[in-house]
Structure 1
Amino acid sequence: MKVAVIGCTHAGTAAIVNTAKLYPEAEITVYERNDNISFLSCGIALYVGGMVKDPQGLFYSSPEQLAELGVNTKMLHEVVSVDTDRSVLVARNLQTGEEFEDSYDKLIVTTGSWPIVPKFEGSELNNIVLSKNWNHSNTIIEKAEKSRNIVVVGAGYIGVELVEAFQLNGKKVTLIDAEERILSKYLDPEFTDAIEKNLEEHDIKLALGEKVTRFEGENGNVTKVVTSKGEYDADLVIMCIGFRPNTGLLKGQVDMLDNGAIIVDEFMQTSKKNVYAAGDSCAVFYNPTKKHAYIPLATNAVRMGTLVARNLVEPTVSYMGTQGTSGIKIYEDNIAGTGLTEVAAKEAGIDAEAVIINENYRPEFMPTHEPVKLKVVFEKETRRILGAQLMSKADLTQSINTISVCVQNNMKMEQLAFIDFFFQPHYNKPWNFLNTAGLQALPPVPSKEPAHV
């Protein structure tokens, strides 16, 4: 079996390693256009902030390790075209310019995503950079050392983590986003309001509800970011607006969402036989809405890549879908979320309700008993749990994984109320705060007393 893999980060590495172990006789060739593989891009902010002392820890595989598994890894090779009807691809050696054709029996597409980069006036100025790969992270660190005013455009996870890292390193930081709230895809206002206040208390300037219109500069270097509402001095600009799937190679050959994300079935196969896909290049089945959605997360990628290998010869293990579960630490706050926010549920046309719990996570007689804020969103008619968000100074984020399982299994609020959780004063109360959320959402019992017989 001749297997070709395009791209080697989270999903690609998982697919390659598992394919090599499951099918030792397979001839596996990997095409990677970068000079490195398996970079953990979610660690960029930690690297920039100086928390990661050994950057090699941000790589979880290498061409040498893959070679030990019998994999032929072609670094600095870009696949320029794919013909899925003929089962051939054309690749270019980026060092020599040579192009050549290769055939395959099975094709695994793990081409990932690429940052969205709008063409603003002044975009060609120096010191306007992206935050996606290993080379980007080194560029950011190098340029940040010489910068005083740093502007980050995009208030998603990467943008928020970067502004914290820059502020901790003594920089003057501005965070710009066209949305009215930071992290608006992941959290409802009850949480984002508190996080925004925290960032501002750390002297981070928030420019929300503002669209970048242009960049200004002197001597070829950026000096200012101009928005629809203001101007901000900048020696360095990091663009973190979002990502789009990198799937041009298969355009018109397989089914995709409108944004180009490849649609795969439960066994990771595309609409074309013998062509599989995984990771940020794909749409995922999103359990809260029961529809395909684009949710580029490393966790989705490694699961999907592993499933590609398991299902490469015949359908074996099906994908259970995702809740888009994620977490972030901002200063002392531990934050996590899964599934739909209340805002997102209503935007999706779902009649949703929510309960909010504000209580100490363990008994007050304990030396410390930090408060926890928990919000659980559920469908009004069916009472099916749709998602949840949590924030606390104590690290209680694993509780969101529990809610993720609840969403996965279509559980209702009544079930959440009475799930069997252990009690021990070091860790929680007799009613775990997850139980408390379910109890608060219990429907009223009938008020009419039964007639006497």
Structure 2
Amino acid sequence: MKVVVVGCTHAGTSAVKTILSENPEAEVTVYERNDNVSFLSCGIALFVGGVVKDPAGLFYSNPEELASFGAEVKMEHDVLNIDTKGKKLTVKDLKTGEETEDTFDKLVVTTGSWPIIPPIEGIQSKNVVLCKNYNQAKEIIARKEDKKKITVVGGGYIGIELVEAFAQDGKEVTLVDGLDRILNKYLDSEFTTVLEDDLRERGVKVQLNEMVQGFVDSEDGTTTTVKTSGGEYESELVILCVGFRPNTELVKGQVEMLGNGAIIVDNYMRTSNPDVFAAGDSCAVNYNPTGGHAYIPLATNAVRMGLLVGKNIKEPTMEYRGTQSTSGLHLFGWNIGSTGVSEASAPVMGLEARAVMFEDNYRPEFMPTNEKIMMKLVYEVGTKRIVGGQVMSKYDITQSANTLSLAIQNKMTIEDLALVDFFFQPVFDRPWNYLNLLGQAAMAHEAELEKESMNAGSN
């Protein structure tokens, strides 16, 4: 069995290791156009902020390790064309310029994603940089040292983490986002309002509801003015973090995709062509809250999907359990976790849902110290099935997001959460764990709505 793997970051690395562990007789060739594999881009902000001193720690594999498994690893090789029906591809060696053809029995598309580059005037400015891979991270590190004014465009996870890193480094930071809230894909307004106020108190200019309209360099090129629908912000360095798109042009029109180009796979990671597999940021995930497909580029999804490619490359063996888009963030002392849909995103996802907020101390008041916790539960109307949750506190309760993720995956209801068995120990929680209390708050909310409905019916 001859397997060709195109692209080798999280999903590709996981796929190669599992394919060869499960099928040592397989002939596996890897084509990667970069000069490194397995870079954890989620660690870029930690690298930029100096928390991670040695960037080598942000790689969890290397070409030598993959070769030790038995793979033929061809770095700095760009795949120019793929013929999935003819089972062949054209590859260019970026060091020599030589082009060659290769064939395959099974193809694994793990080409990942690439930052969205909007068609904005002046975006080619040397002061405007992207933030995705290792080389871009090194460039940001090198260029930030003598810069004072930095603008970050995009209020998602990477953008927010960079804002924190730059602010802690004493920079004058401006955050620009075209939407009305930061982290809008993950958190509802009760949480984002707290975080936005915190950013402003720390001196960060938070410019929301402002679309970037252009970048204008100064005459000497040392600064760039970011022009938006709401103002102008002089900057010495601008970081674009406006999202990612699947990098799937090579198989466009050959396998089934979503409208944005994300490859659709079944529970065994097979595309509409059963000899072509896909995993990671190049494809859509099976999204448990809705039962449909969604584009959610996360490293956690990628490594799981890559493993499943390896498990199923020869024959269907292990099914994908789907994902809830579970994620976590640490921002200026706040510990934040989210999973599934938010109250705001549920209607967009086609779900009729309700939500309940719950705030309390995380443990009994007789303990010498305590912290407030904020939690939100999103559940489906009628079935009361849990479809989302958010948690935030200065105390680290982020593992509760993992617990809620498991609840969504297993189709648990608000009653299940209200009564599930959690331990009690005053150092950690209350006789009723805060997740129990969250479920009970949802039950009380439903009971109140039912009472109101009955009263309205009797009038």
TM-score w.r.t. the length of structure 2 is: 0.96
What secondary structure, in the 3-state scheme, does the structure 1 residue paired with 2:337 have?
strand
Q: Does the aligned pair in 2 maintain the 1:92–1:99 contact within 8 Å?
A: yes
Aligned to 2:149: 149
Q: Distance in 2 between matches of 1:85 and 1:347?
A: 36
Q: CA deviation at 1:373?
A: 0.4
Q: Distance in 2 between matches of 1:336 and 1:173?
A: 25
Q: Which amino acid aligns with 1:20?
A: L
Aligned to 1:238: 239
Q: Distance in 1 between matches of 2:152 and 2:49?
A: 15
Aligned to 2:369: 368
Aligned to 1:206: 206
In structure 1, runs of 5+ residues without a counterpart are 449-453
Q: Which amino acid aligns with 2:170?
A: G
Aligned to 1:433: 434
Higher alpha-carbon deviation: 88-97 or 211-220: 211-220
Aligned to 2:174: 174
Aligned to 1:444: 447
1:218-233 paired onto structure 2 within 5 Å: 218=218, 219-233=220-234
Q: Is the counterpart of residue 52 in structure 1 residue 55 in structure 2?
A: no
Higher alpha-carbon deviation: 147-156 or 118-127: 118-127
Q: CA deviation at 1:67?
A: 1.4
Q: CA deviation at 1:85?
A: 0.6
Aligned to 2:422: 421
What is the root-mean-square deviation in Å for CA atoms of aligned residues? 1.3
Q: Distance in 2 between matches of 1:222 and 1:324?
A: 38
Q: Which amino acid aligns with 1:291?
A: G
Q: CA deviation at 1:221?
A: 4.6
Q: CA deviation at 1:350?
A: 2.4
What secondary structure, in the 3-state scheme, does the structure 1 residue paired with 2:344 have?
helix
Q: CA deviation at 1:222?
A: 4.2
Q: Distance in 1 between matches of 2:84 and 2:22?
A: 24
Q: CA deviation at 1:121?
A: 1.0
Q: Distance in 1 between matches of 2:340 and 2:350?
A: 15
Q: What are the superposed Cα offsets for residues 358-382 of structure 1, whole Å, 9 maximum, x if unpaired? A: 0011111112121110000111211
Aligned to 1:261: 262
Q: Which amino acid aligns with 2:25?
A: E
Q: Does the aligned pair in 1 maintain the 2:6–2:111 contact within 8 Å?
A: yes
TM-score w.r.t. the length of structure 1 is: 0.97
Aligned to 1:160: 160
Same amino acid, percent of matched pairs:
57
Q: Which amino acid aligns with 1:16?
A: V
In structure 2, runs of 5+ residues without a counterpart are 455-459
Q: Does the aligned pair in 2 maintain the 1:125–1:222 contact within 8 Å?
A: no
Aligned to 2:250: 249
Q: Does the aligned pair in 2 maintain the 1:215–1:222 contact within 8 Å?
A: no
Q: Distance in 2 between matches of 1:280 and 1:274?
A: 19
What secondary structure, in the 3-state scheme, does the structure 1 residue paired with 2:67 have?
helix
Q: What are the superposed Cα offsets for residues 140-193 of structure 1, whole Å, 9 maximum, x if unpaired? A: 011111211100000000000001000111100000000000000100000000
Q: Is the counterpart of residue 2 in structure 1 residue 5 in structure 2?
A: no
Aligned to 2:22: 22
Q: CA deviation at 1:441?
A: 1.9
1:35-50 paired onto structure 2 within 5 Å: 35-50=35-50
Aligned to 2:383: 382
Q: Which amino acid aligns with 1:29?
A: T
Change (3 A) 1:190 1:25: same
Q: CA deviation at 1:348?
A: 2.8
What secondary structure, in the 3-state scheme, does the structure 2 residue paired with 1:354 have?
strand
Q: Distance in 1 between matches of 2:26 and 2:447?
A: 61
What secondary structure, in the 3-state scheme, does the structure 1 residue paired with 2:389 have?
strand
Aligned to 2:323: 322
Q: Distance in 1 between matches of 2:110 and 2:72?
A: 16
Q: CA deviation at 1:444?
A: 3.2
Q: Distance in 1 between matches of 2:328 and 2:437?
A: 22
Q: Does the aligned pair in 2 maintain the 1:110–1:277 contact within 8 Å?
A: yes
Aligned to 2:75: 75
Q: Is the counterpart of residue 341 in structure 1 residue 333 in structure 2?
A: no
Q: Distance in 2 between matches of 1:294 and 1:287?
A: 13
Q: Does the aligned pair in 1 maintain the 2:127–2:224 contact within 8 Å?
A: no
Q: What are the superposed Cα offsets for residues 97-130 of structure 1, whole Å, 9 maximum, x if unpaired? A: 1110000111110000000001211112112100
